[in-house]
């Protein structure tokens, strides 16, 4: 048995420089304050007591672009020294100057790296140009004329293992017990790496306990979308998670992440009792608020129908019925508002999910012989054999696979007579 893992050609990206905050003239830049009421990432964090630090905005200009154009032949991504694919959503400044040549300036965000450092990250000007060009470049940008560079930008290039050789619980298909996560799978980004680490780690632990690995579905979590995209479609450029990659965006909201995932985490032993209890209390409180809202009357209209209207908010309803609604924290009220407003859209998505689920339920045996389907296109046969989709849903989303390829697999799965016929044809051919 061939147990080797494939490596693929490199992916690349260029990185940003860091400047010394004390040497930036902020009076020539525009302030960009943070959110007025920043939302914590964790549902366990009740408040963010630290004052927020602002970012600042400045711009490149024609002189900077001219300098870059004059030095393009010295940028490794242009000289051919680096030939791999880069991230299209985060192009280097040299890329931007070439690709968007009609633009006479590009926005740069000056982002403080932290409270206890003077380093400032210059977002928007990642570059693979040599140091002397970077020195000249910053001298031409308003506010940065005298800025001291603490770290220069640079290009990175890395190998990866094509992720379509993984199961959706991130175990390699060829080596049982070996799990891959992060940049190794062709992704880029902190969250992308962290999310995969969670799936791979949980899956490895579950396997040790004799259970199946962790699979999150596309309608349950962005992690589900990420992993499914990777293992089904593979990557040909550094993969980054975007909300636009999810077809069930109405359901995958940041505000309901705890309601979608806490029960799953608790079942797996990944959620502490303390967190779980908090979740149960919150769920009960939302239910209770929903009942109270439904019992309210605004003329002939019930409170929930009233809240469904576009122009009506929880805040307004609260002001109209303080004696009934003041008992509920704003966070709970907002959940009731979103649930009520999105209910129609969500139930439509739910129907889609259920339809998809029926398809998903059609499992494909691990050793299914795609070679036996004589009428299958060669390309489809190769892709199915390589990816080895677990079910028809996954099969249908492999890039380059057509609905008729999937229909053929379905026909063979459902009709043993066809399978026998194909086997006979194969055997005839072998003689």
Ligand X SMILES: Cc1cc2nc3c(=O)[nH]c(=O)nc-3n(C[C@H](O)[C@H](O)[C@H](O)COP(=O)(O)OP(=O)(O)OC[C@H]3O[C@@H](n4cnc5c(N)ncnc54)[C@H](O)[C@@H]3O)c2cc1C
Residues of the shown chain interacting with ligand X in the complex, contacts defined by CB under 6 A: 15, 156, 182-184, 188-190, 193
- Of the pair 172, 394, the CB lying nearest ligand X is at 172
The number of beta carbons lying within 10 Å of the beta carbon of residue 317 is 22
Distance, CA of 394 to CA of 406 (rounded, Å): 10
Least Å distance, CB 56 to ligand X, is 17
- Of the pair 11, 325, the CB lying nearest ligand X is at 11
Least Å distance, CB 40 to ligand X, is 19
Torsion of CA 83, 89, 92, 93, to 10 degrees: 140
Distance, CA of 213 to CA of 224 (rounded, Å): 13
Least Å distance, CB 303 to ligand X, is 42
Least Å distance, CB 153 to ligand X, is 9
- Of the pair 164, 192, the CB lying nearest ligand X is at 192
Least Å distance, CB 184 to ligand X, is 6
Residues contacting residue 299 through CB under 8 Å, at least 6 positions apart: none
Least Å distance, CB 195 to ligand X, is 11
What's phi and psi for 261, nearest 5 deg? -115, -20
Distance, CA of 404 to CA of 377 (rounded, Å): 10
Place of tokens 């296109």: 377
Distance, CA of 18 to CA of 107 (rounded, Å): 16
Output the CA angle 169-175-177, nearest 5 degrees. 55
- Of the pair 5, 193, the CB lying nearest ligand X is at 193
Q: Which of 232, 285, 275, 198 is nearest to 396 (CA)?
A: 232
Least Å distance, CB 418 to ligand X, is 44
Q: Which of 218, 211, 301 is nearest to 252 (CA)?
A: 218
Find the residue with minimal CB distance to ligand X: 182
- Of the pair 93, 390, the CB lying nearest ligand X is at 93
- Of the pair 196, 349, the CB lying nearest ligand X is at 196
Least Å distance, CB 193 to ligand X, is 3
Q: Are strands 55-59 and 30-32 parallel, antiparallel or unpaired?
A: antiparallel
- Of the pair 43, 158, the CB lying nearest ligand X is at 158
Q: Which of 74, 61, 68 is nearest to 145 (CA)?
A: 61
- Of the pair 76, 189, the CB lying nearest ligand X is at 189
Mapped onto helix, strand or coil, the DSSP state of residue 20 is: strand
List residues bridging with 149 in a β-sheet: 19
Place of tokens 């910053």: 138
What interhelical angle do 257-268 and 273-295 show, nearest 10?
A: 140
């Amino acid at each position: 048995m061939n147990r080797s893992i494939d490596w693929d050609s490199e992916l690349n990206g260029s990185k940003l420089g860091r400047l010394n905050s004390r040497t930036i003239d902020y009076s020539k830049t525009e302030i960009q304050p943070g959110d007025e009421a920043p939302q914590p990432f964790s549902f366990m964090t009740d408040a963010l007591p630290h004052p927020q630090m602002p970012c600042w905005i400045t711009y490149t200009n024609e002189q900077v672009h001219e300098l870059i154009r004059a030095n393009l032949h010295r940028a490794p991504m242009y000289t051919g020294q680096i030939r791999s694919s880069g991230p299209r959503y985060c192009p280097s400044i040299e890329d931007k100057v070439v690709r968007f040549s009609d633009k006479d300036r590009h926005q740069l965000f000056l982002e403080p790296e932290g409270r206890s450092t003077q380093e400032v990250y210059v977002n928007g000007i990642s570059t693979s140009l040599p140091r002397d060009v970077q020195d000249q470049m910053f001298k031409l940008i308003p506010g940065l004329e005298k800025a001291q560079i603490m770290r220069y930008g640079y290009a990175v290039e890395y190998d990866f293992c094509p992720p379509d050789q993984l199961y959706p619980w991130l175990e390699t298909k060829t080596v049982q017990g070996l799990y891959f996560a992060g940049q190794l799978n062709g992704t880029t980004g902190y969250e992308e790496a962290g999310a995969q680490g969670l799936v791979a780690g949980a899956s490895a632990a579950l396997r040790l306990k004799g259970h199946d690995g962790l699979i999150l579905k596309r309608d349950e979590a962005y992690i589900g979308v990420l992993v499914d995209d990777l293992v089904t479609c593979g990557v040909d450029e550094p993969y980054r998670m975007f909300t636009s990659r999810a077809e069930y965006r109405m359901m995958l909201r940041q505000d309901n992440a705890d309601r979608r995932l806490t029960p799953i985490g608790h079942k797996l032993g990944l959620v502490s009792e303390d967190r779980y209890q908090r979740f149960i209390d919150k769920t009960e409180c939302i239910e209770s608020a929903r009942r109270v809202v439904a019992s309210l009357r605004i003329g002939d209209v019930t409170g929930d129908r009233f809240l469904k209207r576009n122009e009506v908010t929880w805040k307004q309803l609260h002001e109209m019925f303080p004696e009934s609604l003041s008992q509920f924290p704003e966070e709970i009220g907002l959940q009731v508002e979103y649930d009520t407003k999105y209910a129609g859209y969500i139930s439509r998505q739910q129907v889609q999910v259920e339809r998809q689920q029926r398809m998903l339920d059609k499992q494909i045996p691990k050793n299914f012989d795609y070679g036996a389907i004589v009428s299958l296109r060669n390309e489809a046969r190769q892709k199915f054999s390589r990816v080895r989709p677990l079910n028809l849903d996954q099969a249908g989303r492999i890039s380059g696979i057509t609905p008729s390829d999937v229909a053929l697999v379905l026909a063979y799965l459902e009709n043993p007579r066809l399978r026998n016929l194909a086997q006979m044809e194969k055997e005839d051919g072998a003689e």
